[in-house]
Amino acid sequence: MKSFLNLTFFVKSPFEKLALGIVFFIILISIFGDFIVPYDPTQIDFRGKLQPPSLEHPLGQDGAGRDVLSRVLSGARLTVLSTFTVIFVVLVIGCTIGIFSAFAGGWIDNILMRIADIWLGFPPLILALGFAAALGASLEAAIWALIFSWWPNYARLSRMITLDILSKPFIAGAEVLGVPLWRKVTFYVLPNAFDVLIIQVALDVSAVMLSISGLSFIGVGAQIPAPEWGSMIADGRAHMSTAWWVVVFPGLAIFFSALSFNVVGDALRRELDPLIRRV
């Protein structure tokens, strides 16, 4: 396993370094954005309705006179925090089900994997859309909808990894020594599965981020006036021809965030995936 003390070990090209820098910047903004926003992102000022970018408002104002820069910065926190919440919960649920299924085997394994197969038969975004509509239009509903639709990927992946690890000689030795189940999972399965899981997480971040923004855009995610990037684009699309800045800047935030996380995920996969390193 590569040392994660050096967080830039996997970036090689200038483009990848730039993407990693954008990722760090987005994470910092999502943590400290509320302390650096110049205005209240939900404060309405009809006198400044649809004002273009200026020194006072560098990214302009939206249809309700709200400062677009403040909303984009605050939106980073909503979008990124929601994305990592989905990824973390899905990782925990999916890995728990997958590892348990691999250890249990037999009919329990068959039932759990058939349920996962049924879930995987539906496109994740369409399934999430149905769940979000049933739960009610809100950011929390969108988060839970994506969790419900995304867990089978990690269940399948963690089961496959666990079955591969269970076939190794050191597991047979642990069986002879009477190592308890919790110790096998903690000290044998999880450390050996870390590389593959972290690659999958890195590649899924951009997809989940786009899904959250997409659900907000179509009205089943974050609701106006919440400064979520997808809902900001939905709110400003009626003014696209006369006030382009209302849509373009949150759109660029989504584009560069998703692209940067995807590039970093590909770079991480190149360095950690043994099949690629072998080529």
Give the pLDDT of residue 276.
Answer: 52
Please tell me the distance from the alpha carbon of residue 11 to that of residue 20, in angstroms, as a whole number. 8
Please tell me the distance from the alpha carbon of residue 79 to that of residue 74, in angstroms, as a whole number. 9
Q: Is 123 exposed, middle or buried (0-12, 13-18, 19+ CB in 10 A)?
A: exposed
Give the pLDDT of residue 255.
Answer: 92
Beta-bridged to residue 61, according to DSSP, are 67
Give the pLDDT of residue 105.
Answer: 81
Place of tokens 């996969």: 269
Question: Other C-beta atoms within 10 Å of 104: how many?
Answer: 13
Please tell me the distance from the alpha carbon of residue 61 to that of residue 48, in angstroms, as a whole number. 7
Please tell me the distance from the alpha carbon of residue 79 to that of residue 29, in angstroms, as a whole number. 11
Beta-bridged to residue 67, according to DSSP, are 61
Give the pLDDT of residue 3.
Answer: 46
What is the per-residue pLDDT across 139-182, written as a single tens digit (0 to 9) for each? 888 899 889 888 888 998 888 888 888 777 777 676 667 777 67
DSSP the chain: ---TTSTTTT--SHHHHHHHHHHHHHHHHHHHHHHH-SS-TT---GGGTTPPP-SSSTT-B-TTS-BHHHHHHHHHHHHHHHHHHHHHHHHHHHHHHHHHHHHH-HHHHHHHHHHHHHHHTS-HHHHHHHHHHHH-SSHHHHHHHHHHHHHHHHHHHHHHHHHHHHTSHHHHHHHHHT--HHHHIIIIIHHHHHHHHHHHHHHHHHHHHHHHHHHHHTTSSS-TTS--HHHHHHHHGGGTTT-THHHHHHHHHHHHHHHHHHHHHHHHHHHH-HHHHH-
Token output for 252: 């660029």
pLDDT, tens digit only, all 279 positions of the chain? 444 445 555 667 788 888 888 988 988 888 887 778 888 888 888 888 888 888 888 898 888 888 888 899 888 888 888 899 999 999 999 989 998 988 888 888 889 888 888 888 887 778 888 888 788 778 888 899 889 888 888 998 888 888 888 777 777 676 667 777 677 777 778 887 887 888 888 888 888 998 888 888 888 888 888 888 888 898 888 888 888 888 999 999 999 999 998 888 888 877 776 555 544
In single-letter form, the type of residue at position 151 comes to W
Give the pLDDT of residue 5.
Answer: 41
Radius of gyration of the chain (CA): 22
Contacts of 270 (CB under 8 A, 6+ apart): 10, 276, 277
Please tell me the distance from the alpha carbon of residue 62 to that of residue 46, in angstroms, as a whole number. 9
Give the pLDDT of residue 85.
Answer: 92
* b (16+ CB within 10 A) / e for 27-62: eebbeebeeebebebeeeeeebebbeeeeebebbbb
Question: Other C-beta atoms within 10 Å of 66: how many?
Answer: 25
Which pTM value belongs to this model? 0.83
